[in-house]
Amino acid sequence: MEQAEYALMDAVEDRMWWYRALHRRAEALLRLVPDGASVLDAGCGTGGFLRRLRAARPALRLFGLEYAEVAARRAREKTGAAIASGTVSALPFPDGCFDAVASFDVLSHRAVEPGEALAEFRRVLRPGGTLALNLPAHEWLRSAHDARVHNARRFSRADARVMLERAGFGAVRTQHWNSLLLPLMLLQRRVLARRDDAASDVTEYPPWLDRALFAATEAEWGLARAGLPFPAGGSLLLTATR
């Protein structure tokens, strides 16, 4: 990403509604990973999720990988975890060394070839290990924000499932999220901020608005846990097994 985007992420990821909602869901995806397990956040940015995971699950052994050294350095400072610099297409770790690999909004990046990255995720996972992903959903949601964070692709639910199965993963589960706010996303991205030079969606929101947006994601999560399906959403959560 652009250096300015890393600075924005570092400044707001502990409190901005979208990061809080994502990290809450990501933590839930790893709930069955036992204490003492080794977890890699591949493309960990400035370390927000690893810091949350360390606070929630101190018995996990946490590792990170980040391409941008400035972000990797900040992640080390923020989390105390072992953060390596490198690319998801050639992970600097031995075969079968992790119980879980998490990677959020990385396979969409223009510098990443998804098949290569998934092959590497599978290589470093032990047999039976867990893969947890978040991906931007729906090509029709493409906007100036995608350009700013260098997203080259957004994913449909069906295509994401096929992609993981072709990479050799099983027990693939997919779900949309950020669904209740999808009309607002469309308004923001395709109408209000449709210019190529539009500002990033990652920003400091007024407290009342941030609380309202987060409350919407919490209400949606409750409905999803009660069994209500959401056929569309701003993002896709996926889990799979090595």
Q: What is the amino acid identity at position 35?
A: D
> pLDDT digits over 187-215, tens only?
877 666 556 565 666 778 899 999 999 99
Question: Which pLDDT value is given to residue 23?
Answer: 96
Would you place residue 12 in the very low, low, confident or very high pLDDT band (cuts 50, 70, 90)? Answer: confident
> pLDDT digits over 216-225, tens only?
999 999 999 9
Q: Are 169 and 118 in contact (CB under 8 A)?
A: yes
Question: Which pLDDT value is given to residue 9?
Answer: 76
The C-alpha atoms of residue 236 and residue 179 are separated, in whole angstroms, by: 10
Question: Which pLDDT value is given to residue 11?
Answer: 77
The C-alpha atoms of residue 217 and residue 20 are separated, in whole angstroms, by: 10
- Of the candidate ranges 12-16, 74-78, 174-178, the one whose mean pLDDT is the lowest: 12-16
Average pLDDT (30-59) is 96
> pLDDT digits over 150-165, tens only?
888 999 999 999 999 9
> pLDDT digits over 49-72, tens only?
999 999 999 999 999 999 989 899
pTM of the model: 0.91
Question: Which pLDDT value is given to residue 138?
Answer: 93
Which residue range forms the structural domain that includes residue 109? 3-241
**Number of domains the chain is built from:** 1
Average pLDDT (135-162) is 88
What CATH code is carried by the domain that includes residue 225? 3.40.50.150
Cα–Cα distances in angstroms (integers) from residue 100 to residues 35, 125, 127, 192, 237, in the given order? 12, 6, 10, 39, 15
Cα–Cα distances in angstroms (integers) from residue 206 to residues 14, 65, 105, 189, 203, in the given order? 15, 32, 25, 19, 10
Question: Which pLDDT value is given to residue 150?
Answer: 82
Average pLDDT (104-128) is 96
Question: Which pLDDT value is given to residue 197?
Answer: 60
- Residue 15 is given by DSSP the state T
